[in-house]
Amino acid sequence: MSEGRIAIVTGSSRGIGRAIALAIVGAGCRVVVNYRESREAALAVQREAQKRVSGSCLVIKADVTREAEIEAMIDETLRHFGRLDILVNNAGISDPCGFLEVDLARWSRMMEANLTSAFLCCRAVLPHMVKQEWGRIINISSTSGLTGGTSGAHYAAAKGGMIAMTKALASEFAPKGITVNAIVPSKIDTGMLRSALGTGGTDALIRRIPVGRLGTAEEIAGLAVYLASEQAGYITGEAIVASGGYR
């Protein structure tokens, strides 16, 4: 990755987002750690980033389902760093349930958090990327968006919509020097997954994964760093699955 690039990683106070933010700093870039509620966790990411490279991290609170808060985050990023090159749409929620448990409010909340947020962030950053004729957008989706998964139809629909949006934006903005790709993880070792499964459930799941383990957030982060790099300039519109062979 070219040094000096500026990235926003939404929902990066923990889990996959945290790993991506730190990996981007490790690759020589500067990063905005975005959070909605977990301020202390976001500041801990900043401290870790600053240990690696002084001045490499800015923490900004913003609810990425709110257009005005996204615009304020971008304005603050531009004031602080002077430019914006990379957007990682990582923020989202999980709400496992059966289809008949999903009322309209629950459906709308899932779409807003997992799909509308990515739409709003893309719409806000793309004018800046078009102006500079360079940009990288990376959307963190899920294999549920390809297979239906086990987390509910509302989650699968939101993550599938993210993949479709990725492909549409990639075609439209490729002539402007902007790539748009999706990373499609499955069964990544995060606190959220382990708490949802419990010890017995985690062990049972691992037995079903061909590589024999859960994926790590750092593995997803490594892929994100590559997709954000100059070397990935010929890759756009892709939904890259990272599942350990799990189907």
Handedness of CA 246, 157, 173, 73 (dihedral sign): negative
Query: Which residue's structure tokens are 């106070």?
Result: 13
Query: Which residue's structure tokens are 């909605």?
Result: 36
Alpha-carbon torsion angle 129, 136, 125, 67, nearest 10: 170
Largest CA distance in the chain: 52
- Among the listed residues 35, 155, 226, 234, the single catalytic one is 155
Cα–Cα distance for residue pair 189/213, rounded to 1 Å: 9
Query: Which residue's structure tokens are 């954000």?
Result: 228
Alpha-carbon torsion angle 76, 6, 12, 227, nearest 10: 150
Token couple for 51: 């240990």
Q: Which residues pair with 33 in a beta bridge?
A: 9, 59
Backbone angles phi, psi at 226, to 5 degrees: -60, -45
Q: For the chain, how far is it from start to end, CA to CA, in angstroms?
A: 31
Catalytic residue flag (residue 155): yes
Q: What amino acid positions are annotated as catalytic residues?
A: 155
